[in-house]
């Protein structure tokens, strides 16, 4: 990719630009928008209104065509907490042509995908605005690159954990409501399942893939419902040293949230939310992984994958009984070579924060056999 493309600053907008008006309205009335973000809210609403006729057309005339289309191959779900290597694993596996995935564009405009006029307009708009690199971790961005489908899942049914990017004070509440699915009635749940299958079918069609590859961290706490919806689905769980996860997540939130939020949040609230959500997500995974068929779950560490990604992929393909590794090997090797010199963010942690992490996440340190890394600098404050 050209250097000038990588250095393009760009502007990120809340994914609600592609949501149904009903969903967007219900999110807004149940939260308080901070005054300083009113201009961003107005821009988001205007783009949403411009998109309205295009997404309405696709929902009425195009989406029904996918209803009778079967999902022939069982989906593969990459799961794990944010900042644990899920993006890197997803990106490299998507080099395999047989893998279908949700693109960044589809994540924001899931129902302006096959509408020719709308697709041209909003795809051009997305390319114009999207930064060359993601602020939180320097990962290269493009509207056609693989993305998490969680953004798209909230477009029509009011059930999406990533609403927290708009209203970060609700992170813990949204986890209970939209990951643990507490107090979600069957009607909404069935609608969410139908939306999920539709997203997968459209993604496969758009990317010309034959097997859907998901990377969606909130799914780490939704194993039970996913196993019911896709009984033979395969799951790849990737984990990383919890202290590194805490530092990387904190940095990611600090860099990304200012571009997306409609509500202010204090550093203390943000830190507490990170600690609470990780605790819930890992505990939910450990409790629910029993619902995955024994041969359909593989657990790997970020360190193992980072050290030798192609060898790790060979292990994944073998243990998951996936075909096509040798055909895709040259593509994996090329991608691994291109990202070999990727500069990761360097972190330090205060003794106060470290103690909080070790107190709250000690169960994960023990479960996945981690110790405090010598590469992390510990400061007095």
The domain tally of the chain equals 1
- pLDDT score for 120: 87
Structure tokens at 301: 């560490």
Which residues are CB-contacts of 162 (< 8 A; sequence separation ≥ 6)? 15, 148, 150, 151, 154, 218
CB atoms within 10 A of CB 192: 22
Residue found under tokens 């790997």: 300
Phi, psi of 171 (to 5 degrees): -55, -50
Distance of alpha carbon 158 from the chain centroid:
17
Question: Taking a C-beta distance cutoff of 8 angstroms, is the pair 15, 161 a contact?
Answer: no
- pLDDT value at 343 more than 90: no
Residue 2: the pLDDT is: 41
Residues with Cβ < 8 Å from 130, sequence gap 6 or more? 10, 12, 104, 141, 142, 143
CB 248 within 8 A of CB 138: no
Contact 39, 14 (CB under 8 A): no
Both tokens of 49, joined, read 């209104």
What does residue 318 show for φ and ψ, rounded to 5 degrees? -70, -50
User: What average pLDDT does the structure give for the chain?
Assistant: 91
- Region 15-27: mean pLDDT is 92
Structure tokens at 252: 């990611």
Is 230:219 a contact under the CB 8 Å cutoff?
Answer: no
Q: Domain range for residue 45?
A: 3-379
- Does 3 or 176 have the greater pLDDT score? 176
Q: What is the CATH number of the domain that holds 64?
A: 3.40.50.300
Helix (H, G, I), strand (E, B) or coil at 374: coil
SS3 379: strand
pLDDT at 11 over 80: no
DSSP class of 371: -
Instruction: Sort strands 76-79 and 348-350 into parallel, antiparallel or unpaired.
Output: unpaired
- 238: which strand partners? 300
Q: Is the dihedral of CA 113, 117, 120, 124 positive or negative?
A: negative
Give, in order, the Cα–Cα distances in Å from 381 to each of 145, 248, 377: 38, 17, 11
Residue partners of 256: CB distance under 8 A and separation at least 6? 12, 134, 135, 136, 165
Q: What CA–CA distance (Å, rounded) separates 322 from 335?
A: 20
pLDDT value of position 335: 95
DSSP state of 240: -
pLDDT digits (tens, 9 = 90+) for 42-94: 999 999 999 999 999 999 999 999 988 999 999 999 999 999 999 999 999 99
Continuous segment of H or E residues that includes residue 215: strand 211-215
DSSP 87: H
% of residues, the chain, pLDDT over 70 = 91
Residue that has been written with the tokens 């050290």 in this structure: 307
Q: How confident is the model at residue 141 (pLDDT cuts 50, 70, 90)?
A: low
DSSP alpha helices (H): ranges in 162-308? Answer: 171-178, 186-207, 223-229, 242-260, 267-288, 302-307
């Amino acid at each position: 990719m050209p250097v000038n493309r990588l250095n393009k600053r760009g502007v990120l907008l809340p994914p609600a630009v592609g949501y149904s008006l009903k969903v967007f309205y219900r999110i807004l009335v149940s939260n308080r928008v901070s005054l300083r973000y009113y201009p961003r809210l107005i821009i988001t609403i205007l783009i949403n209104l411009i998109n309205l006729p295009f997404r309405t057309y696709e929902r009425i005339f195009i989406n029904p065509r996918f209803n009778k289309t079967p999902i022939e191959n069982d989906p593969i779900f990459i799961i794990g907490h944010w900042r644990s290597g899920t993006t890197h694993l997803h990106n490299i596996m998507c080099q395999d042509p047989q893998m279908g995935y949700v693109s960044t564009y589809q994540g924001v405009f899931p129902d302006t995908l096959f509408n020719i006029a709308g697709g041209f307009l909003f795809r051009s708009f997305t390319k114009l605005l999207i930064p060359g690199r993601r602020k939180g971790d320097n990962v290269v961005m493009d509207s056609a690159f693989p993305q998490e489908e969680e953004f798209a899942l909230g477009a029509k049914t009011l059930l999406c954990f990533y609403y927290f990017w708009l209203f970060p004070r609700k992170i813990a509440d949204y986890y209970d409501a939209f990951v643990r699915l507490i107090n979600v009635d069957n009607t909404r749940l069935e609608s969410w399942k139908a939306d999920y299958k539709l997203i997968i079918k459209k993604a496969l069609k758009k990317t010309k893939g034959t097997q859907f590859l998901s990377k969606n961290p909130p799914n780490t706490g939704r194993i039970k419902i996913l196993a019911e919806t896709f009984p033979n689905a395969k799951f790849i769980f990737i984990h990383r040293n919890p202290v590194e996860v805490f530092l990387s997540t904190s940095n990611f939130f600090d860099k990304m949230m200012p571009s997306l939020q409609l509500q202010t949040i204090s550093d203390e609230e943000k830190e507490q939310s990170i600690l609470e959500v990780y605790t819930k997500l890992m505990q939910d995974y450990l409790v629910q992984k029993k619902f995955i068929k024994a041969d359909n779950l593989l657990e790997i560490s970020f360190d193992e994958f980072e050290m030798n990604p192609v060898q790790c992929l060979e292990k994944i393909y073998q243990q998951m009984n996936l075909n096509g590794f040798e055909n895709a090997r040259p593509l994996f090797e090329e991608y691994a070579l291109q990202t070999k010199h990727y500069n990761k963010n360097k972190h330090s942690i205060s003794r106060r924060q470290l103690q909080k992490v070790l107190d709250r996440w000690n169960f994960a340190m023990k479960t996945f056999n981690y110790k405090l890394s010598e590469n992390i600098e510990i400061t007095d404050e």
